[in-house]
Amino acid sequence: MNRRNLLTVCVMTILGLTLLPDNVAGQQRTLKEQIVGTWTVVSTVNAQKDGSKVDQFGANPKGSITFDSNGRYMLMIVRSDLPKFAANRADEGSADENKAVLKGLIAHFGTYSINEADKTLTTRVEGSSYPNLVGMEQKRTITSLTADELKYTNPATAFGTSAEVVWRRAK
């Protein structure tokens, strides 16, 4: 092969390698690398043990979950139709107002880990709006994860149901 042909082949090879998609040219990112960031809740579908559906957070839930690269997380989901307190003070809600808030809210934080092999996300709760979760582990199965969407199932929620939750990456 003459010099000119060799140079042409080298240039074409280098150009071809630079045009390969990142996941082909390099190693694919792990689930833990992909999950890091902030996500906003799209939907939660809770199911009772008998299979009936529960509208725990209403038709338009609000909330977010954040995973950092050091293995810490924070989660909060609330109903969008929570009642305002008549007293206009957080510490002076009536019994009915407080009950409605507690039935339409979950918030917790702690550490998390990912099992790449079985695609599970395990949280270890350090603090929660539902104190019985503190010190507990919750395992969720990741059913789908793309750059913009995270879906998982939680077989045992704080409300005694199972849940399918969909999150969208916050922009």
* Structural domain harbouring 104: 28-169
Q: Is residue 110 part of a domain?
A: yes
Between 58 and 22, the higher pLDDT residue:
58
DSSP letter (8 states) at residue 148: S
CB 149, CB 37: distance < 8 Å: no
Mean pLDDT of the chain: 88
| pLDDT at residue 12, as a whole number | 52
86 inside domain: yes
Tell whether 7 is covered by a domain. Answer: no
Percentage, residues of the chain above pLDDT 70: 84
pLDDT tens by residue, 60-117: 999 999 999 999 999 999 999 998 999 999 999 999 999 999 999 999 999 999 999 9
Domain with residue 40: its CATH number is 2.40.128.280
Residue indicated by tokens 């977010």: 64
Q: Based on the structure, what is the number of domains in the chain?
A: 1
